[in-house]
Amino acid sequence: MLALIQRVRRASVTIDGAVVGQIGVGLLVLLCAEQGDTPAQADKLLAKVLKLRIFSDAQGKMNRCVQDLDGAGSHGGLLLVSQFTLAADTTGGNRPSFTQAAPPDLGRALYDHVVQRARALHSEVATGVFAADMLVELVNDGPVTIPMRVPSN
């Protein structure tokens, strides 16, 4: 499983002119399932995302995770967006190959799994729509952008 995590001041997903998901301060997480990925890998990736310490503490050090953020008794936001293009292979020329991306049925199942588990573990979760043509807007804070991969066992 692959993820590209961006610490944001705000982020949103728009489809056909309608905002379908948005957060304030938190994490925009672009997710990609690859061939052979499993729900166990998805769970491991989500656990790492939720505990990733990339928010500043009182001393200005990146020492807090999205679940440490408070504001009206809630955590920072989590915006989960499917993005198969993270699996792009650009070694063979100028046109990327996406053969390592999971087939759509598996990709959707793993994305839905991550969304369901995230909603069970975190108070503020928004999403895009799997396989939709989305406009993703964000204000990257820092900027802080972290690639993450959870390899198969």
Domain extents in the chain: 2-149
pLDDT of residue 75: 80
In three-state secondary structure terms, 120 is helix
pLDDT in tens, 75-119: 899 999 999 999 999 999 899 999 999 999 999 999 999 999 999
At residue 75, φ and ψ (nearest 5 deg) are: -90, 175
Q: Is 81 exposed, middle or buried (0-12, 13-18, 19+ CB in 10 A)?
A: buried
pLDDT of residue 151: 82
Please provide the DSSP assignment of 57-111 as one string. -TTS-EEE-GGG--BTTBPPEEEEEE-GGGG-B-TTSSS-B-TTBPPHHHHHHHH
Rounded to whole angstroms, the Cα distance separating 151 from 153 reads 6
Average pLDDT rounded to a whole number, residues 42-66: 96
In three-state secondary structure terms, 43 is helix
Residue 28 pLDDT > 70, yes or no?
A: yes
Q: Is 78 exposed, middle or buried (0-12, 13-18, 19+ CB in 10 A)?
A: buried
User: Which of these, 54, 64, 39, 60, lies nearest to 114 by C-alpha position?
Assistant: 39
User: Which of these, 32, 75, 26, 29, lies nearest to 55 by C-alpha position?
Assistant: 26
Rounded to whole angstroms, the Cα distance separating 148 from 31 reads 10
Fold of domain 2-149? D-tyrosyl-trna(Tyr) Deacylase; Chain: A; (3.50.80)
Q: Which residues are catalytic?
A: 83-85
Residue 70 pLDDT > 80, yes or no?
A: no
Residue 29 pLDDT > 70, yes or no?
A: yes
